[in-house]
Structure 1
């Protein structure tokens, strides 16, 4: 992945996926900053990142945090730590003009773009790309149709990635086969990712909403392995929840792409929902379960196809293409055709776009012909017995003929051995053991080894017209080439080598036939991956009781019975809650053809919902569940709710979790401010903003002031107001009328029941987790402290101070007042001091009796003074 950022925060990136040979270009994001960089890293999860050496320090420092590096400890210096390799390249590698030329000249393997009909006029001083009429200019025009060439930073990053691919190709070409390298780093397609039809989800939102939540693997041995891939495990998250339901590698990959690229295209979202609805029909239950079982049998076909493109050879005498690879291809060809037919039997499948594409693009005849060729060529039963790939008899007449000839010859070898034994001296007969045929060496005679000399017991002694030449030795035998063996070589030739060559020829022909259908196989794999991903969403809907949301162009969020998809897995019973909000209509007043929001709805539904109330009552869970429901709806998934109407939301921005690390020298409050600034810079009227306890990292006065200004910023946007959901404990903001109830502002709190008279602190408060309208009176922080084990004296003192604050008392003056108990303790202490000073202690001597006397005097001093003594003072 290549990434670059300007000083003003504008950022762009491009990345290359080796698995499918696609170069992705992200459109430039103005003022994206480190938040956008972190989002790119989380979504793409690159193994290598390249950055220009003149990039801002803030970007370089951020990328260095998780970059691979060697441990300083000599014993563990070979163990890589980090998620990716970070490399700094010259700034010239990211040059826009050079990158544009590189993109234009990428050979995508498709039809060439025809040059203009105009006469080409190119001088030596002109740039071929910019010169009108040149072939490169025609390609540039063609490229501009699918790539925004005005995204200068992203285009520069794409050029750097292309240069790096070419550099790797040139480097590895010296050590490996050139064809293999060319295949490994071939750019097959270029795709531009624009925010037009994609919801922007910040890195903070992905982690704080638990969309993605990766932890280091608990096994330190696995953490520090020598793999270039980060050794992490996916903890409980939305992605982990859904990924576990996908069956295939391609399906998991597609599901990840869908989750990290939520769409704002209503047609695409509704089409995904229609597909899921077909899977969930009761009459399709058995067929869907059969489809799921079939998908589980499919392996990743990209690996065997890659090996086929490397060519067929021999490794230690065996065919290089493993039997497992042929099984994967055969099973894929058979199952894909079966799945194509199975989808046709689903009730309601007619008119579903995905099913139509599968039916039209999967050529069953060609897929079956590929599988038939593999079955006729590969002897899977014999291959399993021998542990390597064996070719089926009948696949090649020439090969069968040579195999038969070799079998006949093999049965003839004992007779040849007996003939040689008769032709040698009688004493040497017992030393002639066997005759064999060896690839590349031909026929050989095996003779026993003399253990004393290490030479053959017989090497042609007494045979004047026959020369015995030693070829090699193995164990207790030495193999000789003599006249009889030479005659057999001339008569039969090197049959094992000829057979091996013919086997390679047969396998090469089979590989060529399979690779002729590579596009069909890869395309089918992608289609089945998409099928698998939507089937996983259907499984989640059925397993966790999710419902289909109604998507609308209206700028509304209307949820009935919403639940948190992760939290409800932890608790025995989850209390669902509703949410009703509406963002601004915009200055143009556009609603959309099927906008469901009337003028009355716009007045009733608030654009800002402020949550107050006790700690630990479920406010944070409620805010997260609303955001997750909106998020899942834009993926095309069903959502954890009884009913939901979700308007198109262009971005979800959060200020929830204060994510600090020891490698970051910023304070918690500064981190919160940066997250809040990002939400203010990028929010539009169609955005959803979640802010939980913003401003808590500083003094109450400053925090409440910043929080008030934060809310006022969005309220002042008028018809451009986004949907804002906030939670706070700054009650003084509302008590002092800094934020007043008005059109567009709503208050809510979580219901609780409390009984101050109960002896057990845990019985004093009961959380009902039910959202109610209106503002909560108190955070009940002291009661929560008592429930969680804080000392009773501390809680009582805290309640006393809270009471003073509520009455606007001067804490400093109140704390300076002395109580009657304090006065009595001071008088007692003074009396003890006076009595101590009045004591006549004996001179220090080493007499034990004096020590006892002094101890008695001290005990008298610290005894409680009489009331009369105290009053006399």
Structure 2
């Protein structure tokens, strides 16, 4: 005879799964981690599979858009802005947010629709043309006002710093929910409050932006309803939008996707595993700078690299923070801060899950871990020396002080029994929190003995054949049942009801289940009851109470995490700057780019020795500008041998100001930099079967983008522009672009260019009196003669930038270095020399070597014999024999 309590399905026949059957999940979730409260919580990354949705519409030359970032829960609004016919602004918007799905109104400009469809197809995303009735401004305004973020009233929070809860504070979940409902559910108050809040974003003056918001929010609702399959969540208040921000593209540097790829700011590589379709960061500037400790920090650093700042105040503040963190006396403190930052999980997403009732044990563990590490973080941040005026540090301390982590951490650890929760795969409450719950748990733990006693009483009145295998079980929601094996021959309900004293309930594959008044089932149901369900329900109520007390710090926790992410990025830049020996640049309001001893941050890691070079340009120094200082030019043209390092030099001169405006130190001996508002490049041509453009057309598109959008503070990099066409056409295009930029006068941008079109200077396409700085990459020619059968380099690259022009590309020497046949190289030199002198007729008059003359005579005789061959059907000689005669090989 066996008697025990069981929480499994009735079909379970074995008795060794009792612990598994006793599980009741919190929020129907499971957690298999065995971590302690201060160990790693759920790994919530921005790459969690959530898609980034964007919506764009436009007409009559104006565009507006919005996008939602699921990682941060922020909704970004791009106000109505004038854009050109090429939609450069929309391109930059989509490139920087990396949208997975873009919604466009069916009544938008047809060229805008075509542009978005083409762009999303090339980027691997999806463009959906939605009905125009979804893009309505007043609908967007109404939907925004219904968001919980805008409609929710601020709540009066009691001071609980001493740990004593006032008597008027609700102590159970029902009172807590009622108090929130009474406070927030006045529709008129909600509407007025939301309308006032919405005015802060200036959206009432941006109908296109509001139209896009209406379509985007409608799409998010559809997606949420599909994913969650929960009708109760199908309303705007249930959307997990934590913040609304204005996307100000005029406050950040404009860098398009081509420039980011050409400068290797990002480099996505396929994952090493063939079973994964994810990508990883390759050898790139971001990979070089990324030493962040948190997911939010990594996402923020990526945004900094996508959108460098144009504010000198912001840039210099970041430089000052890096300078402070790099001090020797702060080394230990910085190390401790990075360690404690690594203990912070992605708390905003954790809080969002808890707020919507979808939190599991891992989320509660994340809250406890957050409180633990924040307490340590406060102490270590205060140990920093000479950081009194560092804004990021002050903001972090203030944000951390606003979160009562001692109360939050103590509350969560006091309420949750981590060991039992881990074993039961649900959130369980500690003993001592609720007396009634403790009593129910005591009864539940002693239920085995009670059921054994009841089973013995029942077995006394049973036939002897049943008593040995009789079990008394407890099933949640079903109550207390007797289980016996199904006797052989019993197949119908009539057979099952042969035991008259028992009431048949149901059958499983091998067993029958009964209730009996003899086993006092009614008394058990009445006095003991469905005890497990009661325990689970009461624990949910207690956790709801605890959640309410934790959520009062919701905004403060998110603010603290954002401040911590900011410090995390600065510490990452500090570590990268210290590791590579970079220096603090001098930022100035002047439109100048002055670099001494600059190096390429990526290329320098791949070679044993890197030669530093200087650069000096001043924007706005085009034609018609009086300038007494001879060396202040806006355009630099670099010439030199093939493979001498011109492209690397151009790239490093773009990367140094880019890094400075991120807030990082720069790889140079010194740097004096003005603000660069846009960077355009013609460095790299990405071809593919999906692009209906040739390489030359792609180059032209890149230069056209630069010419349309550049300003005096822009930086343009042109590396051998025009090489994809005829040399005459390419040289003409290059000269035309340079002259057009110079004619802009004080609007002339800063330009670094390289070229091999020497006719630009020999034929006067670019006049020597133009305000252009000329440089070349120095090389050393080798005068030694190679021995017979050996190849010896005739040129040595010095990689040093020198003022002046170089009108020799040294292509022949390069060809010799890389193994091209010497005869071919010599012939190429001869032809090149003759063409450069416009003496092409010499190629016709030159004498052939005797060997070539003899060979030519033989070939001429063959042609003559073949031409004199009269073919006829009466010819006695076969065709093959005749061909041998023609070729002069005789017959067999």
TM-score past 0.5 threshold: yes
Aligned residue runs from structure 1 range 544-583, under 5 A: 544-583=580-619
Q: 1:871 matched to which residue of 2?
A: none
Q: Kindly indicate whether the alpha-carbon contact (under 8 Å) linking 1:217 and 1:233 is maintained by their aligned counterparts in 2.
A: yes
Aligned residue runs from structure 1 range 731-750, under 5 A: 731-742=758-769, 744-750=771-777
Q: 1:31 matched to which residue of 2?
A: 84
What SS does the aligned partner of 2:149 have? coil
Q: Residues 815 and 510 (structure 1 numbering): CA distance in 2 closer, same or farther, change over 3 Å?
A: farther
Q: Kindly indicate whether the alpha-carbon contact (under 8 Å) linking 1:583 and 1:720 is maintained by their aligned counterparts in 2.
A: yes
- Please, which moves more after superposition, 188-197 or 495-504? 188-197
Q: 1:17 matched to which residue of 2?
A: 69
Q: 1:222 matched to which residue of 2?
A: 276
Q: 2:430 matched to which residue of 1?
A: 392
RMSD of aligned alpha carbons: 3.9
Report deviation, 1:445.
2.2
Q: Residues 801 and 767 (structure 1 numbering): CA distance in 2 closer, same or farther, change over 3 Å?
A: same
- How many residues matched? 796
Q: Distance in 2 between matches of 1:611 and 1:233?
A: 35
Q: Residues 425 and 502 (structure 1 numbering): CA distance in 2 closer, same or farther, change over 3 Å?
A: same
The counterpart of 2:150, out of the listed 109, 119, 143, is: 109
Unpaired segments ≥5 residues, structure 1: 69-80, 114-133, 224-230, 313-320, 590-597, 863-873
Q: 2:673 matched to which residue of 1?
A: 646
Q: Kindly indicate whether the alpha-carbon contact (under 8 Å) linking 1:337 and 1:364 is maintained by their aligned counterparts in 2.
A: no
The counterpart of 2:106, out of the listed 46, 50, 53, is: 53
Q: Distance in 2 between matches of 1:135 and 1:404?
A: 47
What SS does the aligned partner of 1:362 have? helix
Q: Kindly indicate whether the alpha-carbon contact (under 8 Å) linking 1:5 and 1:33 is maintained by their aligned counterparts in 2.
A: no
What SS does the aligned partner of 1:615 have? coil
Q: Residues 660 and 445 (structure 1 numbering): CA distance in 2 closer, same or farther, change over 3 Å?
A: same
Q: Distance in 2 between matches of 1:740 and 1:646?
A: 29
Report deviation, 1:487.
2.5
Q: Residues 26 and 738 (structure 1 numbering): CA distance in 2 closer, same or farther, change over 3 Å?
A: same
Unpaired segments ≥5 residues, structure 2: 1-52, 155-188
Q: 1:763 matched to which residue of 2?
A: 793
Q: Residues 220 and 831 (structure 1 numbering): CA distance in 2 closer, same or farther, change over 3 Å?
A: same
Report deviation, 1:345.
0.2
The counterpart of 1:193, out of the listed 237, 241, 247, is: 247
Q: Distance in 1 between matches of 2:565 and 2:887?
A: 92
The counterpart of 2:124, out of the listed 75, 83, 95, is: 83
- Please, which moves more after superposition, 619-628 or 478-487? 478-487
Q: Distance in 1 between matches of 2:289 and 2:694?
A: 35
Q: Kindly indicate whether the alpha-carbon contact (under 8 Å) linking 1:9 and 1:33 is maintained by their aligned counterparts in 2.
A: no
Q: 2:21 matched to which residue of 1?
A: none
Aligned residue runs from structure 1 range 391-790, under 5 A: 391-426=429-464, 428-431=466-469, 433-453=470-490, 467-474=501-508, 476-483=510-517, 484-584=520-620, 603-742=630-769, 744-755=771-782, 757-759=784-786, 763-790=793-820
Q: Kindly indicate whether the alpha-carbon contact (under 8 Å) linking 2:83 and 2:89 is maintained by their aligned counterparts in 1.
A: no
Q: Kindly indicate whether the alpha-carbon contact (under 8 Å) linking 2:634 and 2:750 is maintained by their aligned counterparts in 1.
A: yes
Q: Residues 581 and 832 (structure 1 numbering): CA distance in 2 closer, same or farther, change over 3 Å?
A: closer
Report deviation, 1:303.
3.8
Instruction: State the TM-score, normalized to the length of structure 2.
Output: 0.81
Residues 316-345 of structure 1 deviation map (CA, whole Å, 9 limit, x = unaligned): xxxxx4332222111111112211221110
Report deviation, 1:745.
1.5
Q: Kindly indicate whether the alpha-carbon contact (under 8 Å) linking 1:835 and 1:861 is maintained by their aligned counterparts in 2.
A: no
The counterpart of 1:795, out of the listed 822, 825, 832, is: 825
The counterpart of 2:843, out of the listed 791, 814, 830, is: 814
Q: Kindly indicate whether the alpha-carbon contact (under 8 Å) linking 2:622 and 2:742 is maintained by their aligned counterparts in 1.
A: no
Q: Distance in 1 between matches of 2:523 and 2:259?
A: 81
- Please, which moves more after superposition, 38-47 or 542-551? 38-47
Query: Given the alignment of the two structures, is residue 804 of structure 1 paired with residue 837 of structure 2, yes or no?
Result: no
Q: Residues 67 and 670 (structure 1 numbering): CA distance in 2 closer, same or farther, change over 3 Å?
A: closer
What SS does the aligned partner of 2:340 have? helix
Q: Distance in 1 between matches of 2:196 and 2:205?
A: 13
Residues 679-728 of structure 1 deviation map (CA, whole Å, 9 limit, x = unaligned): 11211111111111112222222211121111111212222221111111
Query: Given the alignment of the two structures, is residue 284 of structure 1 paired with residue 313 of structure 2, yes or no?
Result: no
Q: Residues 106 and 374 (structure 1 numbering): CA distance in 2 closer, same or farther, change over 3 Å?
A: closer
Q: Kindly indicate whether the alpha-carbon contact (under 8 Å) linking 1:65 and 1:663 is maintained by their aligned counterparts in 2.
A: no
Q: Kindly indicate whether the alpha-carbon contact (under 8 Å) linking 2:354 and 2:363 is maintained by their aligned counterparts in 1.
A: no
Query: Given the alignment of the two structures, is residue 206 of structure 1 paired with residue 263 of structure 2, yes or no?
Result: no
Q: Distance in 1 between matches of 2:233 and 2:459?
A: 52
Instruction: State the TM-score, normalized to the length of structure 1.
Output: 0.82
Report deviation, 1:656.
2.0
Q: Distance in 2 between matches of 1:455 and 1:135?
A: 63
What SS does the aligned partner of 2:468 have? helix
Q: Distance in 2 between matches of 1:325 and 1:105?
A: 27
Residues 800-843 of structure 1 deviation map (CA, whole Å, 9 limit, x = unaligned): 211112212136x634766354544444555678899999xxx9
Residues 106-157 of structure 1 deviation map (CA, whole Å, 9 limit, x = unaligned): 66336789xxxxxxxxxxxxxxxxxxxx999998787565437665654543
Q: Residues 263 and 309 (structure 1 numbering): CA distance in 2 closer, same or farther, change over 3 Å?
A: same
Q: Distance in 2 between matches of 1:51 and 1:857?
A: 72
Report deviation, 1:477.
3.8
